[in-house]
Amino acid sequence: MTPAERIDQLRRSIAHHNERYYAFDAPEISDADYDLLVRELSALEAAHPELASAASPTQQVGAGRLATTFSEVVHRVPMTSLDNAMDVAELEAWGERVAKGLAGEAPQFVCEPKIDGLAISLRYEGGRFVQAATRGDGRVGEDVTRNVATIADVPERLPENQPGRLPQVLEVRGEVYLPVAAFERLKAAKEQENVERIAAGRKPEPVPVNPRNAGAGSLRQKDPSITAARGLALWCYQLGEVVGGRDFTSHHETLEYLRTLGFPVNPQIRVVGSLAEVVAYCHECEQQRHALGYEIDGVVVKVDSLAQRELLGFTSRAPRWAIAFKFPPEERTTLLKAIEVSVGRTGRTTPYAVLEPVFVGGSTVSMATLHNQDQVAAKDVRPGDTVVVRKAGDVIPEVVGPVLSLRPAGLAGWQFPTVCPCPLRSELVRIEGEADTRCVEPACPFQRDQRIIYFASRVAMDIEGLGESTVFQLSDAGLVSDPGDIYALTREQLLTLDKWGETKADNLLAAIEASKSRPLPKVLTALGCKGLGPAASEALARAFGTLDAVMQASEAELATTDGVGPIIAASIVRWFADAANRAFVDKLRAAGVEFGRVEVRRLPQNLTGKAVVVTGTLAGFTREQAEAAIKDRGGKSPGSVSAKTFAVVVGVEPGASKVTKATELGVPVLDETGFQVLLDTGELPQAGA
């Protein structure tokens, strides 16, 4: 294919995807895949300037043509797009261009989280809200006034704190977005609706893929009452047209002005004095991106001085004084090659997607979870679909949903299997009222292997070197049939295995020996009792002290333990009542597993139900001691701050994100003295005490 042919192909493809994204809120590819197309086109146009065109998507803003749902609005001041920096090198190159454009005059920068929403323009005349418009192609947008008026964050009238000083016309620009919690509610409701539709023999409807698309679709509803019910929100970040207003010299002054008028301005916005600080802010924002309650996909960096902005000016589509630093993609589109089923240690079967490998969330993904039978049906994903895959941080990759516009004609739906994929081919059973389908054959080799893998995992006995592949190798060789057999392994047996040498064998045996002295909470977790995870195991260990005491406790006694409750308590009693399980415990005891012991401290449970976060270094406690002091009194000590946090204890060099989050949410912040008062009384110290 010649450069001219590829350029033409890319222009047509990008124009198509622009229309799907901006006009119909139904993209067929992820933002990351779209960015790759645009960057390829830009590189080809730069290499072949004779093929450049003013009509190219690289020279345009937003959508090509608009949908006809709403009337058109002409922007008096164009709503431009932003150029992107995909890594620090590109960000620094932009900084060098800015410095050059200012003839060496040092700029100050404003850094803002890049909200993954829908750009909006709000127009006020005489202090009254009169119009809202989408960005559209930057010159012409859509009139969405009635829908935007339903958003609680949008002021209907501006306060007249300074009579006569309100501008005759004030245009405020920002981003309408759907908070993550609102998106999850919308998604769950649609999935449940699809389950009911399928049960009634009707076709499922598309499930919202991500907050951005769901938010854009919510804003562009014909019925404003639907928009009102979705829970949309707004962040404001820029002035547009202003007539008769006060003069400003910097961008951060305009943001403060918007705050005084009652507009929501993101509290994460920061003014910095150098590009090095910009880079540090970008890294900090990326680390915090999942703790904000709304989706961000990067950082917008702007020159703060309005005079310097005038000097720098614009390209044909974007300001030279601003750039968007994009985070690594967490969503990509790829081919769903097949749907398979895995079997866990309790017999639970989990469908998973076999994918055309795709780089997303910092790694190459070839498999992704589909959760359960109902989720597959509700999302209506089928082998052969192009699907959206999401991987956020350390979260297991998941298939979000299909791109229906790319589904091949006649593609058959997927049916959940009726027999286990193990060699026994036992029947799969779904108990009425449960979401999971299970293999109920105790001899199922898949369940056996997964029980051993879980027993050796980091959350349980933490046996280094005994991962999935090693367990499969030991199991296939007939050396282990349950977790207790691990402790009978010998050096001679291991050396008979393929690719095993003396060092590898000795290391595994040493790790197995070390696991015998694991603390009681890990032993309880390792048993694999349904519902008994690390948190409940730690609570039981603190309450009862020994494994034997837990085994002998009644259901009522177990249920009173914080974090256990009646369901888990009943599961524990049933597990220990099983003769085979008691024999397994005896097998571990005979092998020399110590089961640990926890000193039962009868401290007043004055922090029951309260979550206290500790950050920074305390003089009188190590981090572990501080968290233990909280838990000994019935409290919880999570690693992050949320609206449910009772207090945050701050020592020396605390985590800035935790302190910021506490301030935003109004969570009390305590020093070490206040922490001691909290431990002694269970209450916050009184002001002045």
Residues 85-134 pLDDT 10s: 988 999 999 999 999 999 978 899 999 999 999 999 999 999 999 999 99
| Average pLDDT score over residue span 475-488 | 95
Residues 211-259 pLDDT 10s: 888 888 889 888 899 999 999 999 999 999 999 888 899 999 999 999 9
DSSP state of 19: I
Among left, alpha and beta (phi > 0; psi -120 to 50; other), residue 416 is beta
The region of weakest confidence among 120-124, 198-202, 487-491 is 198-202
- At 48, the pLDDT band (50, 70, 90 cuts) reads confident
Rounded-to-10 torsion of CA 134, 145, 76, 211 = -20
Out of 114, 326, 658, 661, the active site residue is 114
- What is the C-alpha to C-alpha distance for residues 504 and 495, in angstroms, rounded to an integer? 9
- Domain-embedded: residue 687: no
Q: Are residues 210 and 310 in the same domain?
A: yes
- Domain-embedded: residue 686: no
Residues 247-296 pLDDT 10s: 899 999 999 999 999 999 999 999 999 999 999 999 999 988 888 889 99
- At 678, the pLDDT band (50, 70, 90 cuts) reads very high
Residues 6+ apart with CB under 8 A from 236: 122, 172, 173, 174, 258, 263, 264, 265
Q: Are residues 240 and 299 in the same domain?
A: yes
- Write down the pTM of the prediction: 0.61
Among left, alpha and beta (phi > 0; psi -120 to 50; other), residue 146 is alpha
- What is the C-alpha to C-alpha distance for residues 664 and 662, in angstroms, rounded to an integer? 5
- Domain-embedded: residue 321: yes
Residue 154, Cβ neighbours under 10 Å: how many?
A: 22
- Domain-embedded: residue 406: yes
Q: Which residues pair with 115 in a beta bridge?
A: 296
pLDDT at 298: 94
* 644 belongs to the catalytic site: no
Sign of CA dihedral 488, 493, 498, 499: positive
Q: Are residues 234 and 113 in the same domain?
A: yes
pLDDT, greater one: 193 or 361: 193
CATH number at residue 40: 1.10.287.610
pLDDT at 160: 76
Last residue of a domain, one of 268, 295, 326: 326
Distinct helix (H) and strand (E) counts, the chain: 24, 21
Gyration radius from the chain CA atoms: 30
- Domain-embedded: residue 453: yes
Can you tell me whether residue 300 is helix, strand or coil? strand
Q: Are residues 219 and 314 in the same domain?
A: yes
Residue 296 tokens, joined: 């961000």
pLDDT at 654: 84
pLDDT at 19 > cutoff 50: yes
Q: Are residues 238 and 297 in the same domain?
A: yes
Identify the H or E element spanning 570.
helix 565-577
Q: Are residues 539 and 575 in the same domain?
A: yes
CATH number at residue 572: 1.10.150.20
Residues 640-661 pLDDT 10s: 888 889 999 998 888 777 888 8
- Domain-embedded: residue 531: yes
| Average pLDDT score over residue span 628-632 | 86
- What is the C-alpha to C-alpha distance for residues 367 and 396, in angstroms, rounded to an integer? 10
**Could you tell me which of 243, 75, 262 has the C-alpha nearest to residue 160?**
262
Alpha-carbon separation of residue 138 from 231, 254, 423 (angstroms)? 26, 22, 61
| Average pLDDT score over residue span 144-156 | 94
**Could you tell me which of 218, 217, 220, 213 has the C-alpha nearest to residue 28?**
213
User: Above pLDDT 70, what percent of the chain?
Assistant: 96
DSSP state of 530: T
Last residue of a domain, one of 326, 345, 374: 326
- Number of structural domains found in the chain: 6
Residue 425 tokens, joined: 């081919």
Residue 689 tokens, joined: 């005490």
**Residue 120 in contact with residue 175, Cβ under 8 Å?**
yes
Alpha-carbon separation of residue 585 from 110, 347, 439, 558 (angstroms)? 61, 21, 24, 19
Q: Are residues 117 and 223 in the same domain?
A: yes
pLDDT at 15: 83
The residue assigned the tokens 């916050």 is 684
Alpha-carbon separation of residue 632 from 35, 84, 481, 624 (angstroms)? 51, 50, 38, 12
Residue 209, Cβ neighbours under 10 Å: how many?
A: 22
How are beta strands 645-650 and 669-670 bridged, if at all? parallel
Residue 374 tokens, joined: 């109902």
**Residue 85 in contact with residue 94, Cβ under 8 Å?**
yes
Q: Are residues 48 and 121 in the same domain?
A: no
Q: Are residues 239 and 375 in the same domain?
A: no
Q: Are residues 524 and 504 in the same domain?
A: no
- At 510, the pLDDT band (50, 70, 90 cuts) reads very high
- Domain-embedded: residue 595: no
| Average pLDDT score over residue span 12-31 | 76
Burial class (CB in 10 A: 0-12, 13-18, 19+), 502: exposed
SS (H, E, C) 366-396: EEEECCCHHHHHHHCCCCCCEEEEECCCCCC
CATH number at residue 621: 3.40.50.10190
Alpha-carbon separation of residue 520 from 36, 493, 525, 538 (angstroms)? 51, 30, 9, 8
Identify the H or E element spanning 515.
helix 502-515
Most confident of 33-37, 391-395, 396-400, 466-470: 466-470
- At 569, the pLDDT band (50, 70, 90 cuts) reads very high
Residues 6+ apart with CB under 8 A from 71: 142, 143
Burial class (CB in 10 A: 0-12, 13-18, 19+), 667: buried
- Domain-embedded: residue 596: no
pLDDT, greater one: 491 or 562: 491
Q: Average model confidence (pLDDT) for the chain?
A: 89
Ramachandran angles phi, psi of 361, nearest 5°: 60, 30
Rounded-to-10 torsion of CA 207, 209, 212, 214 = 0
The region of weakest confidence among 461-475, 497-511, 590-604 is 590-604
The residue assigned the tokens 């016309």 is 169
Can you tell me whether residue 218 is helix, strand or coil? helix
The amino acid occupying position 7 is I
Q: What is the domain extent for residue 546?
A: 520-590
Last residue of a domain, one of 495, 515, 535: 515
pLDDT at 464 > cutoff 60: yes
pLDDT at 55 > cutoff 80: no
Q: Are residues 299 and 153 in the same domain?
A: yes
- At 163, the pLDDT band (50, 70, 90 cuts) reads very low
DSSP state of 447: H
Q: Are residues 320 and 414 in the same domain?
A: no
Alpha-carbon separation of residue 504 from 58, 497, 515, 666 (angstroms)? 56, 11, 17, 53
